[in-house]
């Protein structure tokens, strides 16, 4: 079968973690959840268990130093493929008028 353009699908199954907060951090996160509810006109604050993964993701995702090649790991957040991500044509698919560079075969 021919190789498809889309590779393996990311593993997006939830992973349960148990974490412990200091009392001060717990209060801060609950206050933040209440502020989100007030901002969005909701009567109830979002549960901390739903809020913390969003906070962590929004903190890590834009961190350029972490995304550097040395730290690159499989992403939990699906990324768009770069434009023109198709593989270069093989020697069989090249047009005869295109030059072949030595060592690129």
Nearest to 46 by CA among 30, 70, 62, 64: 30
Contact 36, 46 (CB under 8 A): yes
Res 3: pLDDT = 77
pLDDT band at 95 (very low <50, low <70, confident <90, very high): very low
Model-level pTM greater than 0.75? no
Token pair for 40: 């969005």
Per-residue model confidence as pLDDT tens digits over 19-56: 999 999 999 999 999 999 999 999 999 999 999 999 99
């Amino acid at each position: 079968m021919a190789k498809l353009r889309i590779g393996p699908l990311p593993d997006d199954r939830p992973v349960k973690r148990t974490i412990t907060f200091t009392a001060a951090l717990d209060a801060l996160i609950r206050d933040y959840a209440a502020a989100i509810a007030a901002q969005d006109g909701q009567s109830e604050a979002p549960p901390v268990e739903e809020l913390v993964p969003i906070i962590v993701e929004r903190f890590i995702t834009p961190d350029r130093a972490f995304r550097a090649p040395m730290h690159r790991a499989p992403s939990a957040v699906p990324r768009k493929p770069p434009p023109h991500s198709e593989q270069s044509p093989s020697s069989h698919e090249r047009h005869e008028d295109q030059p072949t560079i030595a060592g690129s075969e």
